[in-house]
Amino acid sequence: MTEVRVVRSSKEIMGVDDFIGAEWDAGYIPAGAAHRRCRVTVRKDADDCWTVYAVAAKGDFKLAAWNILSFPCETCAKAFGLCLVFGEGLC
């Protein structure tokens, strides 16, 4: 039996829309690694799109950042970010 996960928008959870630049943390890739991981976040852009980013850092120093994919829907972007972190078993 598969587990069902529900991804909710910020408006559903807090009752207000997110501001431009608001960022949601999906987790690390790979999820189980102890070091040298890449952080996946979802950020609201100025054009009302939600973009999935991957950021590699060492301490406070950002090594690299990638703009992965943009979505017109907040919950779609969050679901995609979670799939990157936890793999296709979540999708």
Domain coordinates in residue numbering, the chain: 10-86
According to the model, what pLDDT value does residue 6 have? 73
Distance between CA 72 and CA 46 in Å, rounded? 12
- Per-residue pLDDT tens digits for 58-79: 778 888 888 999 999 999 999 9
Handedness of CA 68, 24, 71, 32 (dihedral sign): positive
Neighbours of 75 (CB within 10 A): 16
Residue 52 has what pLDDT? 95
Summarised one tens digit per residue, pLDDT across range 21-57 is: 888 888 888 655 556 678 899 999 988 899 999 988 8
Cβ 60 vs Cβ 68: under 8 Å: no
